[in-house]
């Protein structure tokens, strides 16, 4: 008989894959190209550690650079304790998401450049999945400060991004980005550098780790907490 631990691991796997399938299939009718792109997106992500982190969030979640909102719908499928306000600068992606948003009413997307974010203590958590390396490095600090301002004291930011090393993985990701988004340059940082930048904006690092070492992408995850105001 399988041990209780093995049964739990299996259950978690089925839950995260089923949630991912439900999120992906909510785009039915979006056209083959978009659906293939979104399936590829899921295949490239480190789903297991991300699902674990997303499962710990609660309340109102802000997502920046949410693209079509696939991860946000996955988050809502995984975690009944959240509603998600997504945002992206790409009008086509936001419009595409709007066509099927009734299939996941706990997720809404709006058109917004993350550098214009100006919310005050409205959110319990924020996520930034593979967006910061698409924004020039000189704007990272401004974004970290805007996220700190958008969160309630004690709120959590989850960053999933791409490290600068190992070099071959970074080169693979740069090629991927060049082919898919025609961007000549990306702006990745090492996980510890990104954590230090958020600490300078008023966060405390709770977790900072690389994931999926066998993937061709240098994925890392940061979990940061907005420090309460000093007394
Ligand atoms: C690699 S995609 C990731 C999308 C989504 N988070 C995901 O993981 O599937 C990067 C996204 O960041 C968005 N983006 C880039 N610069 C941005 C900015 N300044 N403000 C908001 N979104 C931005 C792009 O439009 C794109 O949808």
Q: 21-68: per-residue pLDDT in tens? A: 999 999 999 999 999 999 999 999 999 999 999 999 999 999 999 999
Computed over every residue of the chain, the mean pLDDT equals: 95
Rounded to two decimals, the pTM is 0.95
Q: Hey, how many other C-beta atoms are within 10 angstroms of the C-beta on 30? A: 16
| Protein residue whose Cα sits closest to atom 15 of ligand 1 | 134
Of 1 and 197, which is predicted with more confidence? 197
The average pLDDT across 163-179 equals 92
pLDDT interval class at 4 (50, 70, 90) = confident
For 98-109, the pLDDT digits (tens) are: 999 999 999 999
More confident residue, 90 or 8: 90
- Quote the pLDDT of residue 139: 97
The Å distance, Cα 68 to ligand 1 centre, comes to 9
Find out whether the beta carbon of 114 lies less than 6 Å from any atom of ligand 1.
Answer: yes
Q: Averaged over 196-219, what is the pLDDT?
A: 96
Nearest CA to ligand 1 atom 14: 65
From 134, 150, 181, mutation site for ligand 1 pocket: most ligand atoms within 8 A of C-beta: 134
Give burial (CB, 10 Å; 0-12/13-18/19+) of 128.
buried
Query: From edge to edge, which strands make up the β-sheet containing 123-129?
Result: 107-111, 82-88, 59-64, 123-129, 151-162, 219-226, 203-210
Nearest residue (CA) to ligand 1, atom 1: 130
Query: Positive or negative, the Cα torsion across 210, 147, 79, 216?
Result: negative
Give the confidence band of 158 by pLDDT, cuts at 50, 70, 90.
Answer: very high
Nearest CA to ligand 1 atom 4: 67
Q: What is the pLDDT of residue 184?
A: 80
């Amino acid at each position: 008989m399988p041990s209780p631990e093995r049964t739990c691991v299996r259950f978690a796997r089925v839950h995260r894959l089923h949630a991912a399938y439900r999120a992906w299939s909510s785009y039915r009718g979006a056209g083959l190209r978009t659906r293939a792109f979104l399936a590829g997106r899921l295949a490239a992500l480190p789903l297991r550690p991300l699902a674990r982190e997303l499962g710990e969030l609660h309340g109102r979640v802000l997502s920046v650079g949410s693209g079509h909102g696939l991860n946000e719908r996955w988050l809502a499928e995984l975690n009944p304790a959240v509603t998600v306000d997504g945002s992206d600068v790409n009008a086509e992606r936001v419009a595409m998401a709007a066509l099927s948003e009734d299939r996941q009413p706990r997720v809404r997307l709006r058109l917004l450049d993350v550098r214009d974010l100006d919310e005050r203590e409205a959110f319990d958590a924020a996520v930034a999945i593979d967006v910061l390396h698409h924004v020039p490095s000189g704007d990272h600090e401004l974004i970290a400060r805007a996220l700190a301002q958008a969160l309630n004291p004690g709120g959590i930011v989850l960053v999933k991004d791409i490290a600068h090393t190992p070099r071959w993985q970074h080169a693979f990701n740069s090629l991927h980005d060049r082919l898919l988004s025609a961007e000549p340059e990306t702006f990745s940082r090492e996980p510890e550098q990104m954590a230090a930048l958020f600490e300078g904006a008023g966060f405390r690092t709770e977790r900072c780790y690389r994931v999926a070492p066998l993937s061709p992408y240098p994925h890392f995850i940061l979990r940061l907490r907005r420090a309460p105001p000093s007394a």
